[in-house]
Structure 1
Amino acid sequence: MSAPEPPKRSTHVDMPVAYAAVGASKLPDLMRFPPEGSTPYEEQLRLGSGQERFLTASNLLMTWGAQRGAGLAVEDVVRGSGAHYLGPSFDQSGAPQAADAPEEHFGPDGEPYLVAGSTATLRAEGQDARSVLIVYTIDEERRVGFAWGTADENGAVGEQLFAVERREDDTVWATARGFLFPPKDGLLGLRARGAVRAAIDSVRDQLASLAPGARGSV
């Protein structure tokens, strides 16, 4: 009689977030096939060119610089282990790739880069605070970034990926993509759609804060 097979291990665990489809912001076909009922988006902004600009923008992005530069207060930060969510990665053809072990990086002031599993509270003046969880990070030679998922229902709910990339033509871009659901607090129609639009407007502000000369940037 053969021995029973050991249980299969999964890289996906239950996450304390307020939406399903965790990790879907990295899927190549997100814009065509977003999670049902959500609004997908993609934004990009050219930051300049060259390795120095890429490193400067990367350091800002991975130490909450985009959020702080856009006027958000980042509070109650609890650093994660880097291994809470290691979802599938995809190459340019869409083929899944094995996840690499996270590597520690630090900004020029010694502040550690964001890692998966970290949590924080984001506060914008005149708005309800939002709790977020970093569900995965990106650490590639020409691309770095992170995605958070909303951990409360105080507005639009979903997942948002922020990244900085240095392209083959040496230009440096800040990019964002994600999917958002209307608030679950009973808002309907224009007010619900307005909450989603406001969240996307905030994304644009965060990308703009990474540009040279912006507040908090160099």
Structure 2
Amino acid sequence: MNTLTYPEVGATRLGPLPEGYHHLRHRAAVGRGRAAFEAAGAAVTEWRVHRASGVHVDASAARAAAGVAVEMWAGVGRARVTASCEVVWAMYEDTRTGFAYGTRTRHPECGEESFVVELADDGTVWFTVTAFSRPACWYARLAGPLVPLAQRLYARRLGRTLRRAVSEP
């Protein structure tokens, strides 16, 4: 059975982030206006920003929704890392769109990560990645402080990729 591996399901939406995990918060401006918000929200919830950032995504649905199974992988051969997740919440609101997935038993980490696009009152479109995680397997523990660094770099890459996607005609 491939079940969620942590008890604090939904903490990236409801807060606070639980203790005993590494916390990540990254926020980036990706555009301006309603059209940019709509484009960014679709790119995030339809897995396009992840795919464009170099991660292979196999999801059980074309769009993020609670209960959708997601298998992701990066790398090749023996250097390939596979991560099994499940969408634990999704939101499609007038000024906020996004989702979070939680780790399942075949994931090297244990925790949750959210990806939210927000249209601010001044028209700025913000993309926020929020996560809590800790190692769940030997190689993630062995990597030590490199894992949080890789997560932060990946969050920044997602923001840059989303900014480019929103600015393209």
Same fold flag (TM > 0.5): yes
Q: CA deviation at 1:152?
A: 3.0
Summarize the alignment of residues 34-49 of structure 1 with structure 2, pairs less than 5 Å apart.
34-49=17-32
Structure with the higher fraction of residues in strand conformation? 2
Q: Which moved more, 1:168-177 or 1:152-161?
A: 152-161
1:189-214 Cα shifts (integer Å, max 9, x gaps): x7222223323322222222111258
**Which residue pairs with 2:34 in the alignment?**
51
Structure with the higher fraction of residues in helix conformation? 2
Measure, in 2, the Cα distance between the counterparts of 1:149 and 1:118.
Answer: 11
Measure, in 2, the Cα distance between the counterparts of 1:150 and 1:187.
Answer: 14
Q: Secondary structure at the match of 2:24?
A: strand
Q: CA deviation at 1:147?
A: 0.2
Could you tell me which of 136, 151, 158 is aligned with 1:199?
Answer: 151
Measure, in 1, the Cα distance between the counterparts of 2:135 and 2:145.
Answer: 6
Cα 1:131/1:204, change in 2 over 3 Å? same
Q: 2:88 matched to 1:78?
A: no
Q: Secondary structure at the match of 1:209?
A: helix
Summarize the alignment of residues 47-196 of structure 1 with structure 2, pairs less than 5 Å apart.
47-75=30-58, 77-79=59-61, 112-125=62-75, 126-185=79-138, 188=141, 191-196=143-148
Does the 8 Å contact 2:41/2:117 carry over to 1? yes
1:23-75 Cα shifts (integer Å, max 9, x gaps): 111134x3xxx323101121011112111111111111110011101111112
Q: Which amino acid aligns with 2:80?
A: Q
**Which residue pairs with 1:24 in the alignment?**
11
Identity %: 27
Q: Secondary structure at the match of 1:210?
A: helix
Q: CA deviation at 1:153?
A: 4.9
Measure, in 2, the Cα distance between the counterparts of 1:66 and 1:213.
Answer: 8
Q: Which runs of 5+ in 2 are unaligned?
A: none
Q: CA deviation at 1:186?
A: 6.9
Query: How does the TM-score come out when normalised to structure 2?
Result: 0.86
Measure, in 2, the Cα distance between the counterparts of 1:213 and 1:206.
Answer: 10
Q: Which amino acid aligns with 2:148?
A: V
Q: CA deviation at 1:131?
A: 0.7
Measure, in 2, the Cα distance between the counterparts of 1:203 and 1:161.
Answer: 10
Measure, in 1, the Cα distance between the counterparts of 2:6 and 2:135.
Answer: 11
Q: Which amino acid aligns with 1:71?
A: G
RMSD after superposition? 2.3
Q: Which amino acid aligns with 1:118?
A: V
